[in-house]
Structure 1
Amino acid sequence: MTLFSLVATHADLDLETVGILSSGAADVAGSVDVPAVTLATCNRLEIYAEASSDDPAALEASREELIDAVAETSGVDRDTIASTFRTLVEDDAVSHLFQVGAGLDSAVIGEREIAGQVRKSLADAQNAGTVSGHLTRLFETATRTAKDVGARTALGSRGRSIVSVSLDIAGDMRGDGAAFYRDACVVLIGTGAYAGTSLAQLQERGVRDIAVFSGSGRAEQFVAERGAAARALKMEELSEAFSAADVIIGCSGGNRQITAQEIRTLAGIGPEGREKDLTVIDLALSHDFTPEVADLPGVELITLESVKMAAPAETEDSLEQAREVVDAAVQEYLTERQQRSADDAIVALRRHTQSVLDAEMEKVRKQHGCTAAAEEVEFAVRRIVRKLLHTPTVRARELAAEGRTEDYVQALQDIFGLEVEPRERPEREQPAKRRRAEEFTPAELAQMAAHLQKVPDGGFCPHHRPGEFAVERLEVAQRLTQAQAS
């Protein structure tokens, strides 16, 4: 397997292009035949995947397949997409993901939302069945590293985010931020991850009047799930809420944008503006508002591009601390991966020698029978094999520590013709098969009987009343219980 990633971020592209590429990103991994995880945020689209082998042709084929999938879901010209993505391979892909998860590659350095987005992207891939064991370990380790950065460095203690910076900008534009938010009326559009973060940030700033609207009708559920002191808006209440609003925040990321004319009508903006100014914050990657909203009198429009330009710079000491944590985690992950590859090679070599030994011993038994002499020969041969494998085993681990596992694997292929296959963690695809009564051992049945004596008739366990749960009991265990009771 070869790990690689396709990367399109704010560092290379304008956010409008990133947003177009990200449309339909959730469907990309499921539409290809390679294991893949998609990470799509407000300022990046990244796809982490595994090619079937380390052959450059296999890597290129997998890359082309992903580019085709992105082109189909986004509607962007394929050649444009091919030239837009950077391709990172193996160690570079690992290092990049760890930096992303720690907030070192964000528009707002040290942002705290990105670690959750990395974690969620893995969960989504697991639910969709598009992830492999290697990708799972990669993303889990990146998430743990992000937590370490947050706990051990000043970078994580600042708690900055796209949302917090945008609200800081709005507060500065309207005067004293703290005083402004305490008396502000805010309308929040959307019920996704950024909406949840925005709601929490508004409450931290002391906003008492928050109204939530969702075109999908999820506003009431969204507010109830968070126990927030906010109210859900219906469509017919939108005009009144917009008219009273000091701030409107859009983070729905829907297909439809709110136009300047709609803002003018709903918020009651005349030719000279209105009685109080209005701040519109657009946090949706695909934009919830058209750019012309900024031209309305008395209206200030804050976009993700504005946040990116205004994001505060971190001190060099904080960044250096975070980089050291990330670099150490990357090195540890790569070393462990080399060791796992060495273990796979050792298993392959031992399996090969064992199969040769078993085949030869089968010939001995056919010729001489299962005699004491044959057993003595087998014992001696196995001892010789163990001694012969000792040095190759030690050498494999030494080379792994030096980062030269590939040399060892190549030597096995050249000398023995062995193909070293990576071992995936087994995943249960079918529910556990129920055991029949005759498949339980006497000790297990006795243990069941002892447990049943403590459970009321018709009950499930000693802690629940009869009738709350019902389970079918093994008849043989019931008979043992009755025998023990008598």
Structure 2
Amino acid sequence: MVFVSLVASHSDIDLETVALLSAGSSGVASAVLDGTTPVSGAVVLATCNRYEVYCEAPREDDVEAARSAVIAQISRASGLTEHQVSTALATKTGADAVDHLFSVGAGLDSAVIGEREIAGQVRRALIEAQQKGTASGPLVRLFQIASRTAKEVGTRTALGGRGLSIVSVALDLAADLSPDAGWADKSVVVFGTGAYAGATMALLKERGVVDLSVYSASGRAEAFVATRGGTALDDETLTAALASADVLVGCSGGDRRILAADIAALDRAERPLVAIDLALTHDFDPAFEDLDGVDLITLESVRMAAPTEQAEALREARRIVRTAADEFEAEQRERSADAAIVALRKHTQSVLEAEVEKVRAQHGCTAAAEEVEFALRRMMRQLLHVPTVRGRELAAEGRVDEYEAALETLYGISPAAAGQPAPSVKAAPPAALAHPPVDFGQAPGAGQCRATGTNG
């Protein structure tokens, strides 16, 4: 099993391209698992400044086919050509994919280093994949441990300790543009009802904003403000709110875009306006920058203004991430031997049962037969101990192929199941997977004799 991630983020390409790739992103994971591709699981992580697809391929030889399948689906969903998609997405496999996700979840790859919002987005990406049935067992473990690592970074380092986020940095920039007026005196309109809108509402209230309104083109503003406070706007009341607003915050990325002409047509009596556009697909016309009295803050502005965290905190955070990624990889390598070990045990079990049947046929359910059967099972358990331990040692060293080749050479065993996806976490927890359920230490035949009341 190999993890493959296809990554497009603010650090590599422009946000416009990220937005185009994200179009229709919700259906990519399901589409790529149509049974015609080598992809056995997929999770999509789409945020305001990144679009990433994590998938599972059976073997290294399947990586390119898996990548091509994902690219084809993104192309269909976004309308971009496969060449454009392929050029925009960087491919990471194996340990590189693991390390990247752990770094992303911990906020080390964010525009605002150490931001905590991304950890929640990683959790939500997994939940959505589980709800849609696209997350395989290994991917579930990968994302769960990524979230656990992010929490560890947050609690053990000073990184992000100031509560910095994309939203908070944007609001700091807005405050710097009008230093003479406090937030309590500002009228703010928020566009959108998603996670970023919720984070924005919370931060605005912390800063003392009282006059707070929410607009949603999809009509969800009423339900949104019912639990968060504020005033819900609709198409009829939006114009008046825009005319009296001091700050606009765009978090929706919907079809409705506020044009520069819409603002220019309002009677604002030379009232200054700050527009914060946090939506990938832009809630506000870029031409806002050309309007007198209007300042436009974009995601690019936030990235340029984001403070650099302390070097020591960054080093400690990266050490935690690296350690977690190494431990996860070591565990995955050990798991790679499970199928081969199970194949060996099944082979041995079949040989053992054949011999036990011969003993039963010759001696029946006698005490002597039970003793022979028990001795055979105990001997088989002892014989399997060293090959099992050695299999896990070789897997930890990344040499499971040698182990499988040895089984095929010595016993004619071809553990085809080794290339299949591991059982899901719910179906079989790690402790169970580490010890395949084959027990040679008891004698079922003897128990059967006593249960049936035959001579024994």
Tell me the distance in 1 between the aligned counterparts of 2:369 and 2:286. Answer: 86
The residue number in structure 1 matching 2:187 is: 185
Task: Provide Cα deviations, 1:53-89, integer angstroms capped at 9, x if missing partner.
Answer: 2142x22221111111100110011111112111111
Structure number with the bigger relative contact order (C-alpha 8 A, sep ≥ 6) is: 2
Report deviation, 1:49: 0.4
2:382 pairs with 1:380: no
Residue 163 of structure 1: SS of its match in structure 2? helix
Tell me the distance in 1 between the aligned counterparts of 2:120 and 2:196. Answer: 11
The residue number in structure 1 matching 2:449 is: none
Report deviation, 1:187: 0.6
Query: Quick one: which of 414, 417, 421 aligns to 1:418?
Result: 414
- Aligned residue runs from structure 1 range 113-262, under 5 A: 113-175=117-179, 179-226=181-228, 228=229, 230-262=230-262
The residue number in structure 2 matching 1:389 is: 384
Task: Provide Cα deviations, 1:279-327, integer angstroms capped at 9, x if missing partner.
Answer: 1111101111121111111111111111111111122111101111111
Stretch deviating more after TM superposition (248-257 or 341-350): 341-350
Q: Which consecutive segments of 4 or more residues in structure 1 shift more than 6 A? A: none
Query: Quick one: which of 33, 41, 49 aligns to 2:55?
Result: 49
The residue number in structure 1 matching 2:282 is: 287
TM-score under structure 1 length normalisation: 0.82
Residue 159 of structure 1: SS of its match in structure 2? coil
* AA partner of residue 162 (structure 2): R
> Aligned in 2, Cα 1:415/1:264: closer, same or farther, shift over 3 Å?
farther
Residue 160 of structure 2: SS of its match in structure 1? helix
2:7 pairs with 1:3: no
> Aligned in 2, Cα 1:17/1:390: closer, same or farther, shift over 3 Å?
same
Tell me the distance in 2 between the aligned counterparts of 1:222 and 1:249. Answer: 15
Report deviation, 1:414: 4.3
User: Is the CA contact (8 Å cut-off) linking 1:149 and 1:156 kept in structure 2?
Assistant: no
The residue number in structure 2 matching 1:468 is: none
For structure 1, the residue ranges without an aligned partner over 5 or more in a row are 429-486
Q: CA RMSD in A?
A: 1.9
Residue 336 of structure 2: SS of its match in structure 1? helix
2:322 pairs with 1:327: yes
The residue number in structure 1 matching 2:394 is: 399
The residue number in structure 1 matching 2:267 is: 268
* AA partner of residue 7 (structure 2): V
Report deviation, 1:388: 1.2
Residue 274 of structure 2: SS of its match in structure 1? strand
Residue 131 of structure 1: SS of its match in structure 2? coil
Report deviation, 1:264: 1.9
Pairs aligned (count): 417
Task: Provide Cα deviations, 1:366-416, integer angstroms capped at 9, x if missing partner.
Answer: 455445554343233222212211211222333344444444344334433
Tell me the distance in 2 between the aligned counterparts of 1:210 and 1:364. Answer: 84
Query: Quick one: which of 330, 347, 353 aligns to 2:348?
Result: 353
> Aligned in 2, Cα 1:409/1:23: closer, same or farther, shift over 3 Å?
same
TM-score under structure 2 length normalisation: 0.87
Tell me the distance in 2 between the aligned counterparts of 1:225 and 1:409. Answer: 57
Give the percent of matched residue pairs that are identical in Structure 1 and Structure 2: 57
2:301 pairs with 1:306: yes
Larger Rg: 1
For structure 2, the residue ranges without an aligned partner over 5 or more in a row are 34-38, 428-456
The residue number in structure 2 matching 1:432 is: none
Residue 155 of structure 1: SS of its match in structure 2? coil
The residue number in structure 2 matching 1:112 is: 116
Tell me the distance in 2 between the aligned counterparts of 1:55 and 1:218. Answer: 45
Tell me the distance in 2 between the aligned counterparts of 1:225 and 1:316. Answer: 40
